[in-house]
C-alpha cells in the first residue's frame, strides 16, 4: 500500500479546476500528475495498492494483444475484472473506458480506474486498486469535482457520490486481502485472460535504491513544472487586460473542459483539459494552436480544424468526437 495520502491527476486535467491545491498542501496530501496517462482524479491512502504493466510493443505477442488503445482498455479491463472475482468480489464489470464497476442501476459503484501511456516502444498500464476502506472525507475536503462529472450517475451531490459510488474489496467482501493475495490474483488473471507468462521477480535493496534515486532525480529536474503543465491560472496569468477568459464544461462520455481566451470575438488562446485519454498528445496541443485567430462564433471553421485532427489515422481519443469539442466551446460563451 501507499505510505500516506496522495492525489493523482490525469495528465490532461487542469490543476486549478479539479482540486483545491492549497488545501492539499495544508493537509499534507501529495499531489502528482500522471505522465501521459489520462483519466480523472484519483485519491489514494494506506488502503490502496498500485498495479502496473509494462510491455514491449515490438514483441509480436504484445502487438497481437494490444493493437490499439481501445482494445488495450477492454483486454486489461477483463484482466482486472477477473482478478477482483478471484479475490471474492461479486459481479465486477468493465464497459466504460478506464473504469471497473460493480452493481447496476442505482446501485452502481466504481472500484478501480486504470489507464495507458506509450513511452517509446513501451506500453505502460497503471491502475490503483481499492483494497480497504478509504478515508473519503479527506478527499472530499480537497477535491473540486464538478456537477457535470456525476450528471450520468445516480447521485445529485458530489459527497454522496464519493461515499456511495466508490467502493473497495473490503466493503464488497468484508475482507481486506494481503499484498500477496492481490499479487497472486493478478498473476493468475493475466495468465487466464491474455495467456501471458511472467517470471516472478522480487525487488532487491539495489532495485529499490535505484528506483528511489530515479524518482529523486526527476523531482529535482521537473519539480512542480510538470504538475503545472495543465494550469489555467498559470497559463493565462499575464494576458492583456482587454482579453477575456471564458470557461465551460461539457460531458458526453468523457468530461471536456475548455478555457477560451477571447479579444472581442477572436480566439487568442485556448486550453482543453478533462478526464479523457488521447494520443499522440502533441495533436491536442496542435488543435489548440489551430483555433487561434478564429471567430468563436464561426463554428464551421472551428469544426473543420477539429476534424482535421480527428481524421488523422494515428489519432486516438476514445469516447470523444468532434461534436463534443464544439459543444464545450459553445458553453464557454453562453
Give me the domains of the chain, ranges plus CATH numbers. 6-225 (3.30.930.10), 236-332 (3.30.390.50)
Weakly modelled stretches of the chain, pLDDT under 50: none
pTM for this prediction: 0.84
pLDDT (0 to 100) of residue 87: 97
Buried b / exposed e along 76-90 (16+ C-beta atoms within 10 A): bbbbbbbbbebbebe
| Helix residue spans in the chain (DSSP H) | 15-18, 21-26, 60-65, 69-86, 136-142, 158-164, 169-173, 179-194, 205-222, 232-235, 281-290, 299-310, 322-332
Distance CA 286, CA 306 (A): 10
Q: What is the pLDDT of residue 3?
A: 82
Q: Is residue 43 within a helix (H) or strand (E), and if so which, with residue range?
A: strand 42-44
Residue 297 phi, psi dihedral angles, 5° rounding: -85, -10
Determine the distance from the C-alpha atom of residue 262 to the mean position of all C-alpha atoms in its chain, rounded to a whole number.
29
What CA–CA distance (Å, rounded) separates 83 from 161?
25
Contacts of 151 (CB under 8 A, 6+ apart): 251
**Nine cell digits for residue 59:** 514483441
List 53's β-bridge partners, or say none.
125
Pick left, alpha or beta for residue 91 (phi over 0 → left; psi -120 to 50 → alpha; otherwise beta).
left
115-152 pLDDT, tens digit per residue, is 888 878 888 888 999 999 888 888 888 989 888 877 77
Cell of 42: 484519483
**Angle formed by the axes of helices 299-310 and 322-332, to 10°?**
140
Q: What is the pLDDT of residue 222?
A: 61
β-partners of residue 250 are: 256
Whole-number pLDDT of residue 164: 80
Chain segment 20-41, per-residue pLDDT in tens = 999 999 999 999 898 888 888 9
What pLDDT score was predicted for residue 75? 92
At 243 the pLDDT is 98
Amino acid at each position: 500500500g501507499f505510505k500516506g495520502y496522495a492525489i493523482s491527476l490525469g495528465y490532461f486535467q487542469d490543476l486549478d479546476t479539479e482540486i483545491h491545491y492549497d488545501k492539499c498542501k495544508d493537509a499534507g496530501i501529495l499531489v502528482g500528475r500522471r505522465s501521459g496517462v489520462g483519466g480523472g482524479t484519483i485519491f489514494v491512502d494506506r488502503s490502496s495498492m498500485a498495479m502496473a504493466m509494462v510491455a514491449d510493443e515490438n514483441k509480436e505477442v504484445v502487438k497481437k494483444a494490444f493493437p490499439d488503445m481501445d482494445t488495450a482498455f477492454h483486454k486489461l479491463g477483463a484482466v482486472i475484472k477477473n482478478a477482483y472475482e478471484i479475490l471474492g468480489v461479486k459481479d465486477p464489470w468493465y464497459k466504460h473506458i478506464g473504469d471497473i464497476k460493480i452493481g447496476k442501476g442505482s446501485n452502481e459503484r466504481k472500484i478501480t480506474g486504470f489507464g495507458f501511456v506509450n513511452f517509446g516502444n513501451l506500453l505502460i498500464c497503471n491502475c490503483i486498486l481499492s483494497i480497504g476502506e478509504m478515508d473519503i472525507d479527506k478527499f472530499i475536503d480537497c477535491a473540486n469535482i464538478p456537477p457535470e462529472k456525476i450528471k450520468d450517475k445516480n447521485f445529485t451531490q458530489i459527497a454522496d457520490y464519493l461515499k456511495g459510488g466508490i467502493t473497495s474489496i473490503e466493503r464488497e467482501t468484508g475482507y481486506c486481502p494481503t499484498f500477496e493475495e492481490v499479487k497472486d490474483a493478478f498473476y493468475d488473471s493475466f495468465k487466464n485472460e491474455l495467456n501471458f507468462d511472467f517470471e516472478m521477480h522480487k525487488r532487491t535493496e539495489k532495485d529499490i535504491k535505484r528506483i528511489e534515486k530515479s524518482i529523486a532525480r526527476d523531482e529535482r529536474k521537473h519539480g512542480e513544472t510538470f504538475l503545472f503543465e495543465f494550469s489555467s491560472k498559470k497559463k493565462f496569468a499575464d494576458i492583456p487586460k482587454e482579453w477575456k477568459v471564458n470557461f465551460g464544461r461539457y460531458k458526453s462520455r468523457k468530461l471536456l473542459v475548455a478555457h477560451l481566451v477571447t479579444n472581442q470575438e477572436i480566439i487568442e488562446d485556448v486550453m482543453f483539459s478533462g478526464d479523457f485519454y488521447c494520443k499522440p498528445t502533441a495533436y491536442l496541443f496542435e488543435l489548440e494552436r489551430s483555433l487561434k485567430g478564429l471567430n468563436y462564433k464561426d463554428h464551421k471553421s472551428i469544426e473543420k480544424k477539429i476534424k482535421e485532427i480527428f481524421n488523422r489515422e494515428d489519432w486516438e481519443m476514445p469516447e470523444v468526437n468532434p461534436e463534443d469539442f464544439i459543444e464545450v466551446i459553445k458553453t464557454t460563451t453562453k
